[in-house]
Amino acid sequence: MNKYIAEMFGTFWLVLGGCGSAVLAAGFPDVGIGLLGVALAFGLTVLTMAFAIGHISGCHLNPAVTVGLWVGGRFSTKDVIPYIVFQVIGGVIAAAILYVIASGQAGFDVAASGFAANGFGEHSPGGYSLTAAWVCEVVMTAMFLLVIMGATDRRAPQGFAPIAIGLCLTLIHLISIPVTNTSVNPARSTAVALFVGDWAISQLWLFWLAPIVGGALGALIYRSLLAEKVSA
């Protein structure tokens, strides 16, 4: 059970740190952290939690990562659903706490603020289409899984995986925040969408399907083309 609890706390930190930086600090007058700061915040949540709970649960924090590692032969079938459930729970708790904090500011409107929700079309930060959002989320998640599997391969330098994975997530956000506000993580998308409602819920399907497809694709690529071959 401790690995499920670890996933809950880890995803809690990812949503609170990443989405919290976007909601509370990104556009703050004069000292706002902007796109660069939000991207770094998401990367730092994964990096810090990878060191904190990687030895307990593997620090997935993301249903797409869990499914990808399962497809890649790195994760047991029996733990896939429990991991995803606890990841979503952790994300929702974080979003609830973030809502309480954000609503403490006079005039705060969760729908008007967007609450760091993911979207496409008129709800994309840059007005990108459904097709662009789909391609972006699939490709970014595929590359994320490829980096995760490569950095945690037994042939890779030991002890540095959290740094590579955290920096990879930072880079992903630097590329894709303008397109979808960056999901690559269904638990993160679900957590904030529940509080925004309306359009965020109606578009949530993409931010489950595309990351999971991308995660499975990235894992298959690594397993098929880059993994160490075991001789007969």
Per-residue pLDDT of 172-184, as tens digits, reads 999 999 999 999 9
pLDDT at res. 231: 55
More confident residue, 228 or 195: 195
Burial profile 37-74: b = 16 or more Cβ within 10 angstroms, e = fewer: ebbbbbbbbbbbbbeebbeebbbbbbbbbbbbbbbbeb
pLDDT at res. 32: 81
pLDDT at res. 112: 83
pLDDT at res. 203: 97
Q: What DSSP assignment string belongs to 103-158?
A: TTSTT--HHHH-TT----GGGSTT---HHHHHHHHHHHHHHHHHHHHHHTSTTSPT
Assign domain 3-226 to a CATH class: mainly alpha
| Whole-number average pLDDT of the chain | 94
* Ranges of each domain in the chain: 3-226
Residue 117 and residue 189: Cα distance in Å, rounded?
6
102-111, 158-167, 196-205, 214-223: least confident range: 102-111
Q: Please report, in angstroms and rounded to a whole number, the separation of the first and last CA atoms in the chain.
A: 37
Above pLDDT 70, what percent of the chain?
A: 99
pLDDT band at 103 (very low <50, low <70, confident <90, very high): very high
Above pLDDT 90, what percent of the chain?
A: 85
Q: Kindly report, residue by residue over 143-175, the tens digit of the pLDDT.
A: 999 999 999 999 988 889 999 999 999 999 999
96-100, 106-110, 227-231: least confident range: 227-231
pLDDT band at 230 (very low <50, low <70, confident <90, very high): low
pTM for the full model?
Answer: 0.93
Q: What 8-state DSSP symbol labels residue 152?
A: T
pLDDT band at 113 (very low <50, low <70, confident <90, very high): confident
45-49, 106-110, 200-204: least confident range: 106-110
Q: Which residues are CB-neighbours of 188 under 8 A, at least 6 positions away?
A: 11, 14, 15, 18, 19, 62, 91
Q: What DSSP assignment string belongs to 208-227?
A: HHHHHHHHHHHHHHIIIIIS
Q: Kindly report, residue by residue over 47-86, the tens digit of the pLDDT.
A: 999 999 999 999 999 999 999 999 999 999 999 999 999 9
